[in-house]
Structure 1
Amino acid sequence: MYTKPEFTPADPEAAFRLIEQAVFGTLVTAGPEGPVVSHPIFMLERGEGGNGALVSHLAAANPHCALIGRGLPTVAIFMGDQCYISSSWYPRRIERENTDRDNAPTWNFATVHCHGRPQVLDVRETARHIRDCVEHLEAGRGERWHLKELGPGGMKRRLPNVLGFRMPIERLEAKFKMGQDEPWRDTRAAIDRLEDGVDPSLAAAMRRENEGRD
């Protein structure tokens, strides 16, 4: 992934928080006939190795499963806060008789790429993973759903239709493009506009990544 040193997140934990908040990602594996892409949900296991591991599952009928079973090089992609940044938000300059807003518009975003080789889970591990997913995603709901509501044998009947896998993260790339390479007056103006009802969440992320600039 192309990036710049300025786009490295200020907090090393920010990349892991993005994965945990996103949950949903894009899975890309290089197959013999070209890239194969799926869109599963992921659970992050922080305790495995330096970068942890991702645990996920696909429908067993998905052709992607054949590549997962071979442990081929794979990338999981997660997107965080992102938004178009309009030059109309920038203050006008008065330099050498130029009063235009001469900085181009852009798109600010946060993304994380996790590289690794998937390992297929057995049935018991897959069932545990699905339980973990349900517990995580149902947490805090007023009338949450419980896995036991599938009824006797409900889980066992469905497991053959699912392929669970774990992917230790061999390499993690994080790019938080938040205006760090733009003039501070422009970045600050964009933050102000975003805070004013456009995208307060992205504004907060931009403030964090530009802390200390003046």
Structure 2
Amino acid sequence: MYIPQHYKNEDLSEVKEFIVTHSFGILVNDLEGKPWATHTPLELTTDSGGRDILIGHIAKANPQWRAFAGNPRVLCIFHGPHSYVSSSWYKEEEVPTWNYIAVHVYGSLQVMTEEEVLAWLSSLVDHHEAGEKDPVSLHRMSDATLRQVRGVVGFRIQIEEIQAAYKLSQGREEDHARIISELSSKKDPGSKEISGIMNKRSSGR
């Protein structure tokens, strides 16, 4: 994606943390000459060689997976908070803009076996159910229920490139205090989250 140099985030540890926190991403590939996208959880982990990978799944009824064998190259999009920024908050005249965080991950996809998918989904469910009062587990589900698991296509994505855009009013540092204050007063969660991120960065924490 196009990212002006001063908006690029090349702190890989921070970007990876963002992917983990905002793991409900968008899987994009080419299907019969047409861009195709699916919204799905994409888990950042490492393979047996210690390399970063993404693991995910889509329904077998979704035709997107039929293109994987012929063209395994995919794009995964992770989007975070965003907020409108009024130029009335600036000391000098300027046009309004938008602050946001977005990460694009490019890689090559490999379809997993049914056994691998079941093992991964079991660990994924166990992880997300850990804080529940009465956690469910795939290990305790009936064969009839687990047939739903066999209706998905699981995959691993070997990460080849990560691009991260953190557009947070860079170049307008003299206006940051006002921007942070105005955003924090808004009701929408995106503005408040962007305000918090900008405040943390301004404080050097």
TM-score category (smaller protein): 0.7 to 0.9
**Matching residue within 113, 137, 142 for 1:146:** 137
Contact 1:180 1:209 in 2 (8 A): no
Letter in 1 for 2:148: R
TM-score, scaled to structure 1: 0.83
**Per-residue deviation, residues 83-116 of structure 1 (Å, max 9, x unmatched):** 111223x1445xxxxxxxx121111111111101
Contact 1:108 1:179 in 2 (8 A): yes
* Gap regions ≥5 residues in structure 2: none
Contact 1:43 1:54 in 2 (8 A): yes
CA distance in 2, matches of 1:137, 1:121: 21
Q: Which residue of 1 aligns with 2:181?
A: 192
Q: Does 1:205 align with 2:174?
A: no
Stretch of structure 1 that moved more, 42-51 or 76-85 = 42-51
Identity fraction in percent: 28
How much does 1:10 deviate? Answer: 6.5
How much does 1:192 deviate? Answer: 1.5
How much does 1:163 deviate? Answer: 0.4
CA distance in 1, matches of 2:199, 2:168: 8
Contact 2:29 2:73 in 1 (8 A): yes
* Gap regions ≥5 residues in structure 1: 94-101
Indicate the structure with greater strand content: 2
Instruction: Supply the RMSD in Å over aligned alpha carbons.
Output: 2.3
Q: How does 1:119-134 map to 2 (within 5 A)?
A: 119-134=110-125
Greater Rg over alpha carbons, structure: 1
TM-score, scaled to structure 2: 0.86
Q: How does 1:40-189 map to 2 (within 5 A)?
A: 40-46=40-46, 52-88=52-88, 90-93=89-92, 102-152=93-143, 154-155=145-146, 157-181=147-171, 183-189=172-178
CA distance in 1, matches of 2:50, 2:197: 25
